[in-house]
Amino acid sequence: MQQFKELYDKLGSLVNSWTDKLLELPEETIASRRNEQNRTIKEIVGHMVDSASNNTHRFVHMQYQGSPLIFPDYANFGNNDKWISIQDFQNENWNTLVHLWKFNHLHVLHVVENVDASHLNNAWISALDERITLEEMILDFPRHFLLHVNEIEELMEA
Amino acid at 128: L
Q: Which residue has the higher pLDDT, 79 or 59?
A: 59
**pLDDT value of position 64:** 96
Instruction: Inform me whether the pLDDT recorded for 32 exceeds 90.
Output: yes
Q: What percent of the chain has pLDDT over 70?
A: 100
- Across the beta sheet with 123-125, what order do the strands follow? 69-70, 123-125, 131-133
Helix-helix angle 94-113:41-61, to 10 degrees? 30
Instruction: Output the pLDDT for position 77.
Output: 77
Q: What is the pLDDT of residue 76?
A: 80
**pLDDT band at residue 1 under the 50/70/90 scheme:** confident
Give me Rg for the CA atoms of the chain.
16
Buried b (16+ CB within 10 A) or exposed e, 107-126: ebbebbeebeeebbebbbee
Mean pLDDT of 60-66: 96
Say whether 70 sits in a helix, a strand or coil. Answer: strand
* Element holding 69 (H helix, E strand): strand 69-70
CA 47 to chain centre: 7
- Pairing outcome for strands 131-133 and 123-125: antiparallel
118-133 pLDDT, tens digit per residue, is: 999 999 999 899 999 9
Amino acid sitting at position 90: Q
Quickly state the pLDDT bin for 156 (edges 50, 70, 90). Answer: very high
- Please write the tens of the pLDDT for every residue from 64-120: 999 999 888 888 877 899 999 999 999 999 999 999 999 999 999 999 999 999 999
Task: Report which of 115, 113, 135, 111 is spatially closest to residue 124, judged by C-alpha positions.
Answer: 135
**Structural domains of the chain sorted by starting position, each given as residue range(s) with its CATH number in brackets:** 2-122 (1.20.120.450)
What's the pLDDT score for residue 120? 98
| Arithmetic mean of pLDDT over the chain | 95
* CA 3 to centroid of chain Cα atoms: 20
